[in-house]
Amino acid sequence: MAVAYKDFLDPAHLTRIENYSLMAKTAVEGFLSGMHRSVFHGFGTEFLQYRNYVPGEDLKYLDWKVYAKRDELVTKVYQEETSMNCYFVVDASASHHYQGERAACTKLRYACMIAASLAYLATRQGDNISLFAYQDTIVEALEPGHRTGQLHRFLQALTRLQPEGQANHERLLKSMTHHMRSRGLVVYLSDMLEAEETLPRMLQNLRFQHCDVLALQILDPDERDLPHGYPVRYIDSETEKEVVASADAVRGEYEKSMDQFMDDLKNGYRRAQVDYKPLITTDHLGHALSQYLHHRESLA
């Protein structure tokens, strides 16, 4: 039975592939094979002009149609596109360790799969890729580059990530602005919990650095609907604070608060002109990939 390309992007399927390199290749190639053929042709090179053929040049650059029409040997000249820096920022705080019953992987694993897939796609297109992973400090930092091994180093850094500590968004974004030397695309991956006021403002600052920002919020399905049907002692992953509650009793209020939180985030990002996309760890990776390609195309 043929495998639908969506199957390749299902986190339940991809999370079984331990190796990020293989996972990213599977996801991206699967994703691209499902797209319309002509949409992304021409990436990397751009037609500039014709010039007369000089003997000795490679015949593959001859325009045979012009020769047929005008009986002239002319050569097509292309202009190499300037490569772009793609910054991936991954929040690896302790709250990303959560994995509910319905999810196939933790939130961090999901974020890493998205980062790996987008990085693979970017490398495939000749872009420079860079990585910043942080908790209360920066735990992984990779300078932009596109040479051989950059993707491997990128994926290795992702593999080393362990969800721990509290997220210090402010410190990350301050130190990150020092490292950014040229324009590019920032892909920010986080659950953004308890930061609906600060994060849009801080990411807006990146736009002042001539960067386009794509904010991807990663949440577990449990965080949306609090499904537990029994008394639970909830322990905050980052602060270790506890609250005992019967989910049935507090679910209504919780869902309302979460909706308000998401709305606040959405409005904040809109005001900051930052593209925002909430993702659930059960969503297939196509959402993130298409969002990325959309941005990349607009930048090109």
Partner 1 sequence: MLNFGNSLFLFALAGLAVPILLHLINRELAVSLKFPSIRFIDRSQLPRREKRKLRDLLLLALRLLLFAATVLAFAKPVWVTPLTTVAEGTTLEQTIYLVDASSSMARGNQWQAAKSALRNDLANTDAAEVGLVAYADRVLIQMSPSTDPDPIENFIQELQPSYSAGNPGTAIETAVRLFNPEAKSRLVIVSDFQETDWQRDLPGVAEDMDLVFLRPEESEAPNIGIANVNTVPVGKNQARVLVMVRNHSTEAQTVPVTLNSESDSQEKLLNLSAGQLGNVTFTVDVEEPRAMSANLPADSYNRDNSWHFWIAPPPVVRVYAFLPNLDEPQAVNAFYFFQTALEVESDSDWVRFEVTALNRGFFERSLLEEADVLVIPAAGAFLRDGQWDDLKAYLDQGRTAIMLPGESFPRQFRSLERSGMMASRFLGLAGNTNERQTPYHFGSINPSSRLSQTFADAASKDLFLVNVYKYVRLQKSDLDTTLIAFENGEPALISLAVGQGTLYASTFAFDTSWTDLPLRNSFLPLVRELVQEGFNTDRLRRQFFIEETQSLPEPVVEPSAFELDGQFWEVNMNPSESIAGTVDTDQWLPALLSQKPLYANAVPGAGTLPGDSGPKTEFWPWLLMIALICILLESLLTGIKDTAQSSSLGRPNPV
Question: Where along the sequence are the contacts to partner 1 (CB under 8 A)?
Answer: 95-98, 100-101, 107, 191, 193-194, 220, 222-223, 226-238, 241-246, 249-250, 253-254, 257-258, 261
Q: Is 113 left (phi over 0), alpha (psi -120 to 50) or beta?
A: alpha
CB of 193 to partner 1, least distance (A): 4
CB of 227 to partner 1, least distance (A): 5
Nearer to partner 1, 190 or 291 (CB): 190
Question: Do residues 52 and 28 lie in contact, with contact meaning Cβ atoms separated by under 8 Å?
Answer: no
Say whether 89 sits in a helix, a strand or coil. strand
Provide the sign of the torsion angle of the four alpha carbons 249, 218, 96, 31, taken in this order: positive
Query: CA 124, 22, 107: angle at the middle one, nearest 5?
Result: 100
Nearer to partner 1, 197 or 297 (CB): 197
Question: Do residues 216 and 185 lie in contact, with contact meaning Cβ atoms separated by under 8 Å?
Answer: no
CB of 34 to partner 1, least distance (A): 32
Question: Do residues 186 and 210 lie in contact, with contact meaning Cβ atoms separated by under 8 Å?
Answer: no
Nearer to partner 1, 208 or 230 (CB): 230
- The single-letter DSSP state of residue 225 is H
Nearer to partner 1, 35 or 250 (CB): 250
- The single-letter DSSP state of residue 92 is -
Structure tokens, 214: 């794509």
Nearer to partner 1, 127 or 220 (CB): 220
Nearer to partner 1, 11 or 100 (CB): 100
Helices 150-160 and 107-124, packing angle to 10 deg: 180
Structure tokens, 104: 């196939």
CB of 168 to partner 1, least distance (A): 15
Backbone φ and ψ of 23, nearest 5°:
-65, -45
CB of 244 to partner 1, least distance (A): 5
Nearer to partner 1, 133 or 151 (CB): 133
Question: Do residues 11 and 289 lie in contact, with contact meaning Cβ atoms separated by under 8 Å?
Answer: no
Distance CA 263, CA 216 (A): 15
CB of 93 to partner 1, least distance (A): 9
CB of 257 to partner 1, least distance (A): 4
